[in-house]
């Protein structure tokens, strides 16, 4: 029987398969995700549509952050991005290909995941060519390091004792504006562990922002079915009942004293925040005849964007603002 950690780690492959499906069919522009998927599958249209909205929201905030922090007073790149539970995410390679990067970019995940990712990157000439020239492999192949990019092995349940020292050793600067990204990661942690991460950020990073993407609404019929389906696979959404709604997800940050927090579900994002022309383009890729089911599914996933200070780096960022 697989350990609970191994089952959770398997969700990174599920996400990669969904992203590869959406990329192959033309929903999203990600030429790199295919390198991380050994057995491609064609996902159902409602999954592809949801994957598009998730991808669009994350890329929207990443690009807004880079636009706001691209140059300091001396004209140098500034800012940091930290991806918590990065899995097979390809955002670093997408941004580097376009010349859109902060000063430092960190990815963190379990060592089994980072080892797989590092090996995949080095096997692919397209990905390897995008690594900085000073990249070195360490920790038996489970970590990659350069002045610009670090892939770190660590357990987020031991954030302050295990992950923070690695960040500091690789150039993390608590005084720089920093965007944290967490997609379906904090919700798999016990609230005491996810709260510990946010408490550390609150206490130590002067200008911090975060974008989370998590499941919500566990008590209605669909939410109960979602929980039961995941539980049948050995997965527990440990943080879901502590932060079950849009309001509780945003209030979580406001209670810590963060300056602003806005939560929006994926259905609202798709219907109100995507450009009409983009929705028309998506409709031409595949016919979505499960429309009511898609809206119901999308109502149970949410973005939350929050930031700690009224810094100009974050004041002009908004998950509800078009790219």
Q: What is the pLDDT of residues 178-233, one digit of tens each?
A: 999 999 999 999 999 999 999 999 999 999 999 999 999 999 999 999 999 999 99
- For residues 67 and 108, the model is more confident at 108
Higher pLDDT, 1 or 265: 265
Closest CA to 209 of 82, 88, 40: 82
Task: Report the SS3 class of residue 271.
Answer: helix
What is the layout of strands, in order, in the sheet containing 80-84?
A: 136-138, 143-145, 149-153, 104-109, 80-84, 178-183, 208-215, 301-307, 260-265
Question: Per the structure block, which two tokens stand in for 75?
Answer: 């004209």
Between CA 37 and CA 19 the distance in angstroms is 9
User: Quick one: how far is CA 201 from the chain centroid?
Assistant: 17
Give the mean pLDDT of the chain. 94
Query: Could you tell me which residues are beta bridge partners of residue 302?
Result: 214, 265
Residue 54 CA to residue 94 CA, distance in Å, equals: 16
Question: Which residues have C-beta within 8 Å of that of residue 101, sequence separation ≥ 6?
Answer: 66, 77, 92, 95, 148
The runs of H, that is alpha helices, within 87-178 are: 91-97, 111-123, 125-128, 164-169
Please work out, in degrees rounded to the nearest 5, the angle formed at the alpha carbon of residue 54 by the alpha carbons of 49 and 55: 95
Question: Worst-scoring range by mean pLDDT, 27-41, 75-89, 168-182, 277-291?
Answer: 75-89
Q: What is the DSSP string of 280-291?
A: HHHHHHS----H
310 versus 307: which is more confidently predicted? 307
pLDDT at 74: 60
pTM tops 0.85, yes or no: yes
Percent of the chain scoring above 70 in pLDDT: 96
Kindly tell me if the per-residue pLDDT of 78 is higher than 90. no
Residue 6's pLDDT is what? 78
249 CB neighbour count, 10 Å cutoff? 24
């Amino acid at each position: 029987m697989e350990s609970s950690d191994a089952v959770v780690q398997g969700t990174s492959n599920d996400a990669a398969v969904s992203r590869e499906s959406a990329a192959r069919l033309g929903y999203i522009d990600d030429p790199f995700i295919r390198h991380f998927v050994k057995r491609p599958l064609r996902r159902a249209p409602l999954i592809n549509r949801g994957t598009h909205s998730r991808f669009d929201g994350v890329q929207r905030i990443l690009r807004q952050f880079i636009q706001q922090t691209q140059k300091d007073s001396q004209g140098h790149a500034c800012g940091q991005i930290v991806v918590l539970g990065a899995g097979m995410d390809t955002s670093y390679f997408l941004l580097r290909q376009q010349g859109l990067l902060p000063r430092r970019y960190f990815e963190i995940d379990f060592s089994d995941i980072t080892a797989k990712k590092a090996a995949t990157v080095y096997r692919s000439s397209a990905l390897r060519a995008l690594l900085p020239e000073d990249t070195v492999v360490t920790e038996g192949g489970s970590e990659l390091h350069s002045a610009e990019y670090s892939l770190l092995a660590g357990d987020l349940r031991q954030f302050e004792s295990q992950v923070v020292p690695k960040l500091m050793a690789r150039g993390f600067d608590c005084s720089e504006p920093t965007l944290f990204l967490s997609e379906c990661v904090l919700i798999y942690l016990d609230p005491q562990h996810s709260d510990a991460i946010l408490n550390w950020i609150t206490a130590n990073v002067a200008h911090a922002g975060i974008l989370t993407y998590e499941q919500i609404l566990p008590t209605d019929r669909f939410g109960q079915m979602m929980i039961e389906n995941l539980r049948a696979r050995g997965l527990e959404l440990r943080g879901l009942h502590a932060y079950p709604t849009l309001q509780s997800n945003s209030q979580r940050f406001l209670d810590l004293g963060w300056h602003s927090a806005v939560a929006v579900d994926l259905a609202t994002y798709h219907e109100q925040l995507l450009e009409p022309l983009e929705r028309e383009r998506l409709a031409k890729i595949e016919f979505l005849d499960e429309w009511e089911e898609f809206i119901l599914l999308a109502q149970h996933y949410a973005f939350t964007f929050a930031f700690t200070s009224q810094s100009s780096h974050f004041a002009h960022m908004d998950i509800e603002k078009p790219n």
